[in-house]
A and B are shown apart, each in its own frame.
Chain A
Amino acid sequence: MPEELSKLPKPQMRRLLYGQIRKNLILTGISVTIAGLYMRLVFGDGNKREYAEFYKNYDINKEFHRIRRKGLFDSCDPNDDAE
């Protein structure tokens, strides 16, 4: 007597491509949202904050004399003790 082989159950046979496309679109939406939120909140706002803090107490005159004393300006005397 041939032994009873277990019969395979009926798998999902319709709309396979539809399901694949839908899954891909959902994953695309999620990754786009995550990427967008990261770029705005972490990257963008972080950079803006860094710039704001740099320029909050920025004294351009002090910076000018600091660079001048290093001899980096061609038209300014590095040994002039003004300020």
Chain B
Amino acid sequence: MFRTTAVRVHSLVKGALNISKPSVTTTRFMSSHSTETDEQFDARYENFFNRKDIDGWEIRQGINDLCGHDLVPEPKIVVAALKACRRVNDYALAIRILEAVKDKCGGKVNEIYPYIIQEVRPTLTELGIDTPEELGYDKPELALQSVYDIH
């Protein structure tokens, strides 16, 4: 019994001394209403992705947190994320981020997604990133023409 209490106290002390990884959101046990403005929210995510020492894990965590919110990411956040992918040499992640942004548009894909691609196009050409549509990833694999449409 003394051994179990010693182990628990040891793990508590170890947790108190832990240095937390820099994350986009700080974990707080409070209600979900925040006093952050839209611009502060955008700036927080843009600064997170613009960190020079970001790694692939943190990019994925950031995008995952971003997709948990009820909004479509602003083009400037997408640009920062794509540049972060360039820094870690992860082209597949860049395509996946574009697919995630398209998915966040929900029912209004045809209004929002072309706008975002239009705003992000300079960065896409600068970094040499294709959109999922250009790679054929927006259609199912082996998408064959329906036999009823062939005459």
Asked if A16 is at the interface (CB within 8 A of a chain B CB), the reply is yes
Q: Do B70 and A16 have beta carbons less than 8 Å apart?
A: yes
* Complex alpha-carbon distance, A20 and B108, angstroms: 11
Q: Is the interface of B mostly helix, strand, loop or mixed?
A: helix
Q: Are A14 and B118 in contact (CB under 8 A)?
A: no
A15's partner among B71, B107, B108, B112 (CB-CB below 8 A) is B71
Q: How far is the CB of B106 from chain A (nearest CB, A)?
A: 6
CA distance A31 to B111 in the complex (A): 30
Q: Which residues of B sit under 8 angstroms from A70, Cβ to Cβ?
A: none
Write out the residue numbers on chain B whose beta carbons fall within 8 Å of the beta carbon of A15: 70-71
Q: Give the distance in Å from the alpha carbon of A7 to the alpha carbon of B112 in the complex.
A: 13
Do A11 and B115 touch (CB < 8 A)? yes
Return the CB mask of B3-30 against A: 1 if under 8 Å, else 0.
Answer: 0000000000000000000000000000
Cβ of A1 within 8 Å of any chain B Cβ, yes or no, is no
A-side interface residues toward B, CB under 8 Å?
Answer: 7-18, 20
- A-B complex: 3 closest residue pairs judged by Cβ atoms: A13-B72, A14-B71, A17-B70
Question: Other CB < 8 Å A-B pairs besides A11-B111, A11-B112, 5 of them?
Answer: A8-B114, A13-B71, A13-B74, A14-B71, A16-B70
Q: How distant is the Cα of A9 from the Cα of B115 in the complex, in angstroms?
A: 7
A27 to chain B, nearest CB (A): 16
Tell me the minimal C-beta distance from B70 to chain A in angstroms: 5
CA of A10 to CA of B71, assembled, Å: 14
Q: Which residues of the other chain, B, contact A20 by a CB distance below 8 angstroms?
A: 106-107
Q: Are A7 and B118 in contact (CB under 8 A)?
A: yes
- A18–B112 CA distance with the chains assembled, in angstroms: 17
User: In the docked arrangement, what's the CA distance between A15 and B106, Å?
Assistant: 12
